[in-house]
Structure formats: C-alpha cells, structure tokens
Chain A
Amino acid sequence: MEFRCHRVASGCACGPALVTREPISFLGNVDPETGRVIDPSHELCGKCVSGKVLIFPGGKGSTVGSYVIYQLKKRGLAPNAMINLRAEPIVAVGAIISGIPLVDRVPEEVLGIAEGAEVLVDADGEVVEVL
C-alpha cells in the first residue's frame, strides 16, 4: 500500500507503526528520558515512541515540544520517522532540528494502519509505503 505525501523534514526511514487519532503534545505527553507516552489521558499512554514510525494527526501544546523531540533524538529515543495529517510548527520544527523525516498531507486512511505494521517514510520521494 502506498500513499503520496508532502515533505516537511527530509530523510528516509522505516519502522513499526505506532498510530493514534489524538494530537500529541511532546512537552508533557512524552517522557524525554524514556520515550514513553506518560499522559494518562492519552490513548498511547504507556507506549514507547522510540524507533517507531509515529502516525498522528499533528502536534499541539507548548513550543518547547520541539526541543523535547531533539532531546529524544540525542538520547536515541526518538521515532524513526513521523507522519501527520497536517503538520504544525511544533512538530515540524522539532523534526527538522532533529533530522527526523516528517511528512504530512496524507489521506486519513493512514490512521487505519495497524500498530506494528512496517512502514517506510520516504520524505524526499514524498511517498509512504506500508511494507
């Protein structure tokens, strides 16, 4: 299965999908020390974003979230790639400064990708592939 997309942050990476229909605030929702979602009200609570292709509608919350993404990356705990329906500045800037491929403008079907399915995000080629 393939989807066209729009490049926000360049690069190409793959990994198992971690999918949510809820926006993510990296400041507060994700623990920069472990990569785990720690907000009890978030549907991903207890799951780890590290090494995943994180698929979510978009970011929200404080702009400090960009630095949290960078912090995750520096500790080897970041997602391998991210897919948003519509990128917003916090996650976009976080992905760019961290060198994590990020694409957006994908059809809503991507939120139906099964958790754990292997997904390739080729931001430079502007294509997402479910392997």
Chain B
Amino acid sequence: MYLSREEDGILQGDQGETLRRMMEILVALGDIYGAERLVPVRSAQIAGVSFKNIGEAGLEWISDLQGHVAVPSILNPAGMDLERWKEMGIDEDFAARQREVVRAYERLGVTADCTCTPYQIHPDLVRRGDHLAWSESSAVSYANSVLGARTNREGGPSALAAALVGKTPLYGYHLDENRRPTHIIAVDADLKGSDYGALGFLAGRIVKDGVPLFRLRGRPEQDDLKALGAAMAASGSVALYFVEGLTPYPASGSSSQRNDRGNEKSNQWINKNIDKKIEREAAEKIALENKDIDEVYERYPPGDSEMVALGCPHCSRAELERIAALLDGRKARRELWVCTARRIAEASPDLVSRIERSGAKVICDTCMVVSPASERFRKMLVNSGKALSYIPGLCGVEAGFASTEDCISMAEED
C-alpha cells in the first residue's frame, strides 16, 4: 500500500508508540484487503464499548493508549444506561468497569455519546460522499445507503485507529466497484412500521453480504429505512442497500476513484440506461409478498413475553412521539424498555416523562442487545428485525416479534 512520507513516518514511530501501532493496524488491514492507499475520514464511530464484550483485556488495551483523536469520534452503545444502571439490574462491579471503559475513551478525546444512531444526534458527523470509519452495523448501513457516505464495518481497534490517525484504508465500500446492486428484491406488499424490520430479517438471510436493491410499493420514512438496514445487517451482513427512487443512486462510473460528492443529479433513478445496466449486473432477482412478511410474525409469536423492548436501533424523536402517544393513559404492567440516545432523551424531556408515566423505562446509552441486563429474562418481545436476530444468540433469551402497537398491548397485559 502506498504511504505518504508523513504516514510512513508515523509507521516508523515518529509520533509515538500509540500512533505507530494504530498506523500498523491500518496498514495491515490495507494489505489484507488490497487497498492502494489511505483516505481521510470525516468521523469515526467506535465499537468495543460494552464491557460485556471487551472484558478486562479490552479495557486494559484502551487504557494503555496515549493521544487524541484526529476527527470527531463517538461510541457504540455501552452495556448499561450510564446513569440509571441500577434500575436495569446491573451490578456495582460491572457498572464500575463500564464507566472506566467510557472514561478511557473520553481521555482520548472521544465524545461519550453511546449510540447506534450517530446520524440522529450529530448531523455534522456525516455528509454525502464522505469517507467514514464507523463500526455499528446498522449505522454503517444507514450511512452507506441512506446518507450516501462510504464506510466499511470497522472493528473496535480499526475504528479507533482511524479515529486517532484520521484515515482509513481505501477498500471495500469506499470504492464504487463494490457499491453496485447484486440482488434485486421486488416487494409486492404494503409495508408499515415493523414490517420493514421483518423484510430486512428475510432479505439479510437471502443476500448475506450482497448489495440488494429494493423495489417497494410505498415510500418508507427514515425510521423505516433504519429498521430495514439494521435487520439486514444482523440476519445477513448487508452494509449497503438501495431503495429505487428514494436512496442515493448506485455508483455507475467505471473509475473506482470517482467521488460522487454533490455532483449527482437528484433524479437519476429514472436514467433508463443505468437501470438496464443494473438489471444486467444484478445476479439474482427475488420476489417477496405480504405472506412472506406475515410469516415472520407467525414464526416468532409474542407468546407470554415477560418483557418488551423497543428502540433497536435507538429511537428517533419521531419514534418516541409515537410510543408516547400509544402509551398515553395506559399502564405498562410488564417490564417495558424504550431505548434511545441520551441526547435525544435529554432534548425531549416531555416525551420521556409521558412514556415513563406508564411505568415504561426510557433507557439511554445501551439497548436490549448489548446489555447483560437482558439476560435475566426468559422471553422478550421486540418490534425490530435486528433485535429478533440477535437476542437469542447474544443474550440467551427467546424472542417474539410484533408491531409497536402489539408490543405495547403485551406490555399492558397482566
């Protein structure tokens, strides 16, 4: 891989041991994936935050590092609400270690926002055409697909290396040649709300690490796209998808270096020549309909779920509004978690108190998937295709799947 004189100096240790090892990580990954060079990133979102995942060893590694991030950087969800961990049933020991992890990142200049939806709280972290080093699979998918930015799915150390150096190796989803549809999925169904999670749950299993292009009947909203991409990244490893007529258009140029920042016409979805090219190149065509979506609900019935968890990925303000409206005048008799980013909760105190008046808990900085607090439940009901994929394996908890409305009705039951 080509390195500039300055980059090579960092690799030789000119700027200290931490940066030397960080550059070594970037160069090793660049060599493995055949990158030609490094490319500057606008921001980083760093995985390896939940103490449940990284353990003592990860904490020690982060604590041993010296230096300061070169670009704005925030964190993945942690293993607990950093303030209300006791209410979640987290023990003192875990809480102390989790706080240390976050402090260790803060010492490096990372902002202690722990969320899978950085784009919902810091719009300046990403613009169309930007190169990023993001970690969380749903955030990666949203940035690539909906926002038209470019990022691979980084592991914890490689995202932190990119944050400290300010660069990432140029390969994978940074290049046009890997941003073309591999599957066309025509969906003959009227989708709403959690249906997008069900669709993603199915599509991820079909396309695995492919790049699907969806032909949908309706027009999904931002939160629907968030749910769709999150589910595909969990049931498969989809990091980029397209929705015809809606998301930024697929790369069509033959040059891998072409940057599409700002110079694309907004309406290119009607370019028939390129459409034909996509039809030709996409290897597989798949048709899904209402009955396929319905089957996801039927296969994972609510049963007798003792707890209900919403907010995977973290709820937007619009989703909090909807949940608050559904909960008005009702009582959550079962454990009900509504997970969101702390900044969103803090900016909407009225919504938080409306939701919590029902007995539900608005939980920040973490979620039902990454917190060990989930493990004490036997069965959890979710409205998210991503949570549905992960809860059984990562938490050892049975999962049911239902619409937001049905989730809240279940929480209300005695």
Contacts and interface: CB of A to CB of B under 8 A. Distances in A.
Interface string A58-88: 0000011011101100100000000000111
Nearest to B155: A63
Given A64-B53, A71-B55, A92 B28 contact: yes
Given A63-B155, A66-B155, A66-B157, A96 B56 contact: no
Interface string B199-235: 0000000000000000000000000000000000000
Contact of B158 (A67, A71, A88, A93): A93
Interface in B16-69: 21, 24-25, 28-29, 31-32, 47-48, 53-58, 60-61
Interface size class of B (residues with CB under 8 A): 20 to 34
B166 interface: no
B372 interface: no
A6 interface: yes
Given A9-B24, A66-B155, A92 B32 contact: yes
A125 interface: no
A41 to B, nearest CB: 18
A97 B58 CA distance: 10
Nearest to B13: A10
Given A88-B32, A93-B155, A93-B158, A10 B24 contact: yes
A35 interface: no
Contact of B29 (A67, A74, A92): A92
Contact of A68 (B32, B57, B158): B57
A58 B329 CA distance: 57
Given A10-B24, A87-B28, A71 B56 contact: yes
A107 interface: no
B77 interface: no
Interface size class of A (residues with CB under 8 A): 20 to 34
A32 interface: yes
Given A70-B61, A96-B24, A89 B53 contact: no
Interface string A1-27: 000001011100000000000000000
A13 to B, nearest CB: 16
A67 B48 CA distance: 9
A96 B158 CA distance: 11
Contacts of A68: 57
A3 to B, nearest CB: 18
Given A8-B28, A93-B155, A96-B21, 19 more contacts: A6-B31, A9-B28, A32-B57, A63-B155, A64-B53, A67-B57, A70-B57, A70-B58, A71-B55, A71-B56, A74-B57, A88-B32, A89-B28, A89-B155, A92-B28, A92-B29, A93-B28, A97-B157, A99-B21
CB-based closest 6 A-B pairs: A71-B57, A63-B155, A67-B58, A92-B28, A93-B157, A67-B57
26 contacts: A8-B28, A9-B24, A9-B28, A10-B24, A63-B47, A63-B155, A63-B156, A64-B53, A67-B48, A67-B57, A67-B61, A68-B57, A70-B57, A71-B55, A71-B57, A74-B57, A88-B32, A89-B29, A89-B155, A92-B25, A92-B32, A93-B25, A93-B28, A96-B25, A96-B157, A97-B157
